[in-house]
Amino acid sequence: MIKSASEIRSAARATLRGHWAEGALFTLIYWFISSTFPRICVMHLEVRWLGTGFLASSLLLPLGWGFCIIFLLNRRGVEDSFNIGHLFDGYKDFKRIFPALFVKELYVILWALLGAIVYLVILWFVLRYDVACISSPNPSCVWEGDGGEWVIVLIPALISAFVKSLSYSMTPFILYDNTEMGTKAIDLSMKMMKGHKMELFILYLTFIGWGILCIFTLGIGYFWLVPYINASLAGFYEEVKADYEQSACDSGAYPKIFY
């Protein structure tokens, strides 16, 4: 049994006490790099094509990993957790970190496509035919939609992607705690999150109000909200990790995964 969302957020605020300014600064640095690097690549590369921005953004995955791990280190009381060097730690182990994170993002995209495809298949083979025309001998009697039914294809795509992103959400932390693990961290994240996805979803929901308030600060408040969310996510990982290890111990088959 893990802590409630309010308890996790309270613990996150406690770990950030005295580090809010550093968290905001690192958020600004991360945002600046992640927003300017892809643009620079697209503008200055001689070969320009639609995939250039995507590839440039992909190369920033280890940077996002380092940003995420900073808050885990802070959660664990590491003194130099807010060290600029940690932001680039993912590039020191690029051959392991990058493929795992890239595959993770690719899985989310594929699940989104699957959700969209399933919806389109249902729409084409079922909803296209008007119920009133089922018994009609006229084969041209089909449902005349207004086109809006095609727009909502985004809904199943987003739902599918979001659910899977919850399952894979522990991957960055697992990669940090298991220096020999690569893409298998995704599978372990799925196992750890089994039965906990709704709890993480609820945790995310509790930040909606803060997100709305940040809009009225012209977005400046997000530089403090992002550290708050990441610190809470790090705390959630510690809870889920402890619960997973305890369950493994209780079953008598403790897997030596965390070192």
Tell me what pLDDT residue 185 has.
Answer: 95
DSSP per-residue letters across 106-129:
HHHHHHHHHHHHHHHHHIIIIITS
Confidence band for 99, pLDDT divided at 50, 70 and 90: very high
Within 10 angstroms of residue 3's Cβ, the number of other Cβ atoms is: 15
6-34: average pLDDT? 95
**Pair 125, 133: CB distance under 8 Å:** no
| Rounded Cα distance, 30 and 70, in Å | 12
Q: What is the CA radius of gyration of the chain?
A: 22
Tell me what pLDDT residue 32 has.
Answer: 94
DSSP per-residue letters across 4-54:
PHHHHHHHHHHHHTTTHHHHHHHHHHHHHHHHHHHHHHHHH-SS--THHHH
Q: What is the mean pLDDT of the chain?
A: 84
**Pair 188, 249: CB distance under 8 Å:** no
Domain locations along the chain? 5-249
**Pair 177, 234: CB distance under 8 Å:** no
Q: Please return the burial class of 24, using the count of CB atoms within 10 Å of its CB with bins 0-12, 13-18 and 19+.
A: buried
pTM of the model: 0.84
Q: Is the pLDDT of residue 69 over 80?
A: yes
Confidence band for 108, pLDDT divided at 50, 70 and 90: very high
Q: Is the pLDDT of residue 137 over 70?
A: no
| Rounded Cα distance, 10 and 37, in Å | 35
Tell me what pLDDT residue 131 has.
Answer: 45
Confidence band for 150, pLDDT divided at 50, 70 and 90: low
pLDDT tens string 171-226? 999 999 999 899 999 999 999 999 999 999 999 999 999 999 999 998 899 999 99
Tell me what pLDDT residue 134 has.
Answer: 44
AA identity, residue 179: T
Sign for the pseudo-dihedral over CA of 106, 108, 110, 112: negative
Instruction: Name which of 217, 163, 228 is nearest 193 in CA terms.
Output: 163
189: which residues sit within 8 A by CB, 6+ positions away? 167, 168, 169, 170, 171, 174
Dihedral of the alpha carbons of 72, 74, 80, 83, in degrees to the nearest 10: 60
| Rounded Cα distance, 117 and 123, in Å | 10
For 41, the token pair is 């690549």
Longest dimension (CA), the chain: 77
Ranking 56-70, 137-151, 219-233 by mean pLDDT, the lowest is 137-151
Q: Is the pLDDT of residue 29 over 80?
A: yes
